[in-house]
Chain A
Amino acid sequence: MKTNESKQPGIAMIGSGFVAYLHLFGIRSAGLGKFTAIAAYTQEEANQRGRLFDAEPYSSARVDELLARPDIDLVIIGSPNKLHAEHAALAIAADKAILVEKPLVLAIEDAEQLCAAERNGARIGYAENHLFAPIMIKARALAAEGAVGRIRRVTGNFGNPAISSLNWHHAPAVAGGGVFVDLGAHIVPGCEFLAGDASIAEVTRAEMRFDSATGIDIEAKVAFRTESDVELITESMFGAAGPGCFYEIEGDAGVLTAHFMPDQELALKGSGSEPQAIAFPSQDDRSLAGRYTRSGYGPQIAHFVEAFASGRAPRLSAPYGRDTLRWLCAGYVAAATGRRVDRDTAMPEDCTPIECGKA
């Protein structure tokens, strides 16, 4: 029986795709936690990733064996979206703390179940790396201090190149939607975070363009209004020339621009003045540790490890993931109906976000 005798928490990952690398890099950047085990769809893929990551490999058929290991304290759920609910439930049943990749799950009723589990003592974190990135924290603090005056609008723009036809993101039943689920899931909470303390109140309008072959949305422009009447505009796209993401906070006294990727840059432009570069932590650290601090993956895992170890509630947990999922569903409904969608708008609770738009 393997026990975790080191002071480093043992971290396992269910899922072996792109995001597995990002979490591994986050763990290595933060310098805490031991990436102990990884589960992949096939044993062959698990072996490959496990060998490279220096982690024990498990096929998805052997997830229960992974979860039975006492040397694993935290399980990151990074499997294809459709499997989040099943893997989260298995890990909770094994009494593991979990950190679930976005989207939390694909149906609101499954999200409610995780919220109930959390109320009953399950330790659940919701991974949204943008909210842990130093540039975002600095931008929010500056905006809150009045750097742009009264905040009117926050824009989030995220584009990725076209994804491979082999990728499960092309399968609506597995992914739960297209670009709005994949990238919108980052920039909806990102914009809300930058706008201040007020939460999103409603979707005001939404436009989406769908790929006729796969049925997924490949371009989405969804606008929200917060409780403090700030407009949030999210623009996401598959098929961009390269990966790129930026946020813009517009106020009545200036604009704060945070280029999130590929390179990060924070600039403040006051009314009638030239943009002024603003420094933020980790900006000049050219190491991989610096890169994955800037991306938020390092601070994110550090936060959740510390929160679960100390018994404190993490910043983002199941209710936050559920609310984000509701707004993703609301975006599809607004795009389909042309109507505003607020918290009281009835939406099917057993549908994926993209299905909500068709219901």
Chain B
Amino acid sequence: MTQRLRVGIIGCGEIVQAVHRPVLSGLAGHFSIETCTDASGEAAELFAASTGARAVDNAISLIEDEATDVVLIAAPDPLHADYVIAACEADKKGVLLEKPLTMNARMAREVESRTRGSKTGVVVGYPHLFDPAVTQARRLWTAKDKVLFGEFRTILGPNDQFVQDVAEILRPATPLADIAPPPFPYWTAAGEIIGFDHANDLTIRAYNLLLRLNIHDLPVLRVLLGTPDAIPYASNFGPGGGGLCIAFRYGEGLVLLNTTFQGVREADWGFELRSREKTVAVRYPSTYAFTASSTCLLRGDGGGAVHEQRWCDSYVTGFRAEWLHLYDVVTGGAPSQSPVVEAVHDLELLEEILRVIAK
């Protein structure tokens, strides 16, 4: 008989309501949402009423609750480190931690050292890393493939429109007024990386884009190509510095990571890697599209002609795959494919990029 894991959810905001709730509903044989909490008690009660979960006063109580087997940490980024450490110290069976692991590499190394050896299975939630198209790309692009040119593209339309398509978000009538304005933790962490002399509107914007958006791309880049040899160029562009262009050097090859936003409701999100012999490309659907498959494409020589193969029949999203993986980690003892130690390297790469931008 399948073991059903009881999930406690920290943070009942948009990503949980629009993505994790439906994914968990679709995996009812594996998981049940048991408890939830939010900085806004009203938000927690609303979410509890919509799921049958029990609202708990605060995150630490939820973590310590015996009715919680695994914890989904979807609280604001500055709190991720505290809660993943607390969950490991409470010997929870598992944690799915929404990206990013934490705010910078120093904090990430602290999390790694505090959670090393823990019995808790931690999966850092990078849905693209678990996307079936990326899994296919990892089969097609092997360690011996030398990249000649590549491009990761993150060109996104208005996020709220994508969300509106799939979910009605329950919001508390009384918004929670933070004592500290939200940017302050981000200034603190970015300023620590590049120094207060170099932290300005543009570099902090770049930090926010890297930490909250491009952090999806960095682990995929690393599992396919490894750590880059150098970052010869990285810069903001566009109105308010809302775009990013980053160049990674791999041997003689170059890989770009381009990010920008547009008014058109289109998600042009994916990557293409070219070697002398082949091209492997992946395109993701919108984060919130549950029935649109990602695609993986392989182009190469086949008997004197260009041969193309396409995989686009998977309706398992990266989010569903990461939950299923967490289930295997907890119940089957599988090693986490997205462990804390790898997320430390992602944040170290993020810091290198930011330092180049600051120069």
Chain A residues with CB under 8 Å of chain B are: 17-18, 21, 24-25, 28-29, 31, 44, 47-48, 51-54, 163-167, 286-289, 292
Contact = CB atoms under 8 A, between A and B. Distances in A.
Interface in B180-210: 180-181, 184-185, 187-189, 191-192, 195-201, 204
Contact of B180 (A17, A165, A292): A17
Contacts of A163: 177
Interface string B157-190: 0000000000000000000111111001101110
B107 A52 contact: yes
Contacts of A286: 200-201
The binding surface of chain B is classed by DSSP as: helix
A286 B200 CA distance: 6
A28 B191 contact: yes
A51 B86 CA distance: 13
B196 A25 contact: yes
The 8 closest A-B pairs by CB, nearest first: A164-B177, A289-B196, A288-B199, A288-B196, A21-B184, A28-B196, A286-B200, A287-B200
B83 to A, nearest CB: 10
A281 to B, nearest CB: 15
A52 B196 contact: no
Interface of B: 60, 78-79, 81-82, 103, 106-107, 110, 176-181, 184-185, 187-189, 191-192, 195-201, 204
A79 to B, nearest CB: 14
Given A51-B82, A52-B185, A164 B196 contact: no
Contacts of A18: 179-181, 184
Contacts of B200: 286-288
B82 A44 contact: yes
Contacts of A289: 195-197, 199
Contact of A47 (B82, B178, B180, B187): B82
A53 B179 CA distance: 17
Contacts of B107: 51-52
Contact of A21 (B103, B188, B195, B199): B188
A24 B187 CA distance: 11
A17 B179 contact: yes
A167 B251 CA distance: 55
Contacts of A29: 196
Contacts of B179: 17-18, 164, 166-167
A31 B196 CA distance: 8
7 contacts: A18-B184, A25-B187, A28-B196, A29-B196, A48-B82, A286-B200, A287-B197
Contacts of B78: 48, 52
The binding surface of chain A is classed by DSSP as: helix
Contacts of B184: 18, 21
B198 A54 contact: no
B187 A51 contact: no
A292 B188 CA distance: 12
B188 A287 contact: no
A288 B204 CA distance: 10
Nearest to B79: A48
Contacts of A166: 177, 179
Given A48-B79, A164-B177, A166-B177, A54 B197 contact: no
B177 A25 contact: no
B82 A288 contact: no
Nearest to A169: B179
A44 B59 CA distance: 11
Contacts of A44: 60, 82
Nearest to B202: A286
Nearest to B82: A48
B2 to A, nearest CB: 35
Given A17-B180, A18-B180, A52-B188, A292 B81 contact: no
A52 B189 contact: yes
B86 to A, nearest CB: 8
B198 A287 contact: yes
Contacts of B197: 31, 287, 289
Contacts of A24: 188
Contacts of B198: 287
Given A21-B184, A25-B196, A287-B200, 9 more contacts: A18-B179, A21-B187, A28-B195, A52-B107, A164-B179, A167-B179, A286-B200, A287-B198, A289-B196
Given A47-B82, A52-B107, A52-B185, A292 B177 contact: no
A53 B188 contact: yes
Nearest to B174: A165
Contacts of B180: 17-18, 21
Contacts of A54: 106, 192
A22 B29 CA distance: 49
Nearest to B190: A288
Contact of B196 (A47, A53, A287): A287
Nearest to A24: B188
A163 to B, nearest CB: 7
B355 to A, nearest CB: 15
Contacts of B191: 25, 28, 288
Nearest to B103: A52
Contacts of A51: 81-82, 107, 110
Contacts of B106: 54
Nearest to B114: A51
A137 B32 CA distance: 62
